[in-house]
Structure 1
Amino acid sequence: MAHAYRTSTRVEAPADVVWQVLSDVERMPAWTGSMTSVTILGTETAIAVGSRVELTQPGLPPAVWEVDSLTEGDGFSWSSSTPGVRSGVAHRIAPVSDAACELTLAVAQSGMLAGLTNLALGSRARELVDAELADLKTEAERRALEKR
């Protein structure tokens, strides 16, 4: 059984500004409390399909995530697996005008232990997704104002 959560918000910033903030994953802890540390593993300095990224988030065990898909300027998804659970998170940017976009974050868990994991950690995971979305909106809008 899969468990999913999706949330969106309008960001008053151009999509390219949102992408600059979102795709610089190692700087996430500088603008969101939902990430304690983010480290791209290996020699890469930017994420790409196949990149492995170690994430530490408050209240959750550290995990290594692998970038499954990435479309420059539009978003990316990554996934992490532990015995019995596969988690995936998608980050999507959809322009609504030259100066604004719709930002969507979606998380899904599947596997034999997904239900139990959702009971134990689901509300905390949703809180972190909501915080990341709100903080990303704030940071992108701040950067857009600086560019004006």
Structure 2
Amino acid sequence: MAHAYRTSARVEAPADVVWQVLADVERMPAWTSSMSRVTILGPEPAIAVGSRVEIEQPGLPKAIWEVDGLTEGRGFSWSSSSPGVRTSAAHQIAPLPDDACEVTLAVAQSGMLAGLTNLVLGSKARDFVDTELAGIKAESELRARDKG
């Protein structure tokens, strides 16, 4: 059984500005309290398909995420596995005609222990996704104002 959560927000910043925020994953802890530390382990110094990223989040064990999809300027997805649970997350940017964009974040868990994990950590995971989206919005809008 899979458990999923998806949320979106309008961001008053061009898609290229939002992409700069999202693609610099090691700086995530600077703009969202849902991340304590993010380190790209390689093989590239920036995120790319196949990149492995170590993420520490408050109250959760350290996890290794692997980038499994990336469209330059539009988003990326990554996934992490632990015994009995696979977690996948996506970050998507959709440009709007008025120099703004819609950002969508999604997370899904599957596997034998997904139900139990969702029961224990589902609320925290949803809060982290909401916090991350608010951080993306605030940081992107700040950078767009500073740029303009």
Q: TM-score, normalised to structure 1's length?
A: 0.98
Deviates more, 1:115-124 or 1:40-49: 40-49
Q: Structure 2 stretches of 5 or more lacking a match?
A: none
Who is 2:115 aligned against?
115
Who is 2:45 aligned against?
45
Post-superposition Cα deviations, 1:47-80, rounded to whole Å, max 9, x if no partner, equal: 0000000000112111000000000000000000
Give how far 1:45 is off. Answer: 1.5
Report % sequence identity.
Answer: 76
Question: C-alpha distance in 2, partners of 1:40/1:114?
Answer: 26
Whether the 8 Å CA contact 1:3–1:109 is kept in 2: the answer is yes
Question: C-alpha distance in 2, partners of 1:24/1:98?
Answer: 25
Who is 1:105 aligned against?
105
Who is 2:24 aligned against?
24
Helix, strand or coil at the partner of 1:49: coil
Question: C-alpha distance in 1, partners of 2:80/2:43?
Answer: 20
Whether the 8 Å CA contact 2:43–2:50 is kept in 1: the answer is no
Question: C-alpha distance in 1, partners of 2:32/2:21?
Answer: 11
**What count of residue pairs does the alignment treat as equivalent?**
148
Q: Structure 1 stretches of 5 or more lacking a match?
A: none
CA RMSD of aligned residues (A): 0.8
Pair 1:68 & 2:68 matched:
yes
Whether the 8 Å CA contact 1:59–1:124 is kept in 2: the answer is no
Give how far 1:31 is off. Answer: 1.0
Give how far 1:97 is off. Answer: 2.0
Deviates more, 1:128-137 or 1:40-49: 40-49
Helix, strand or coil at the partner of 1:41: strand
Helix, strand or coil at the partner of 2:58: coil
Post-superposition Cα deviations, 1:65-120, rounded to whole Å, max 9, x if no partner, equal: 00000000000000000111000000000001251000000000000000000011
Give how far 1:39 is off. Answer: 0.2
Whether the 8 Å CA contact 1:52–1:65 is kept in 2: the answer is yes
Helix, strand or coil at the partner of 1:73: coil
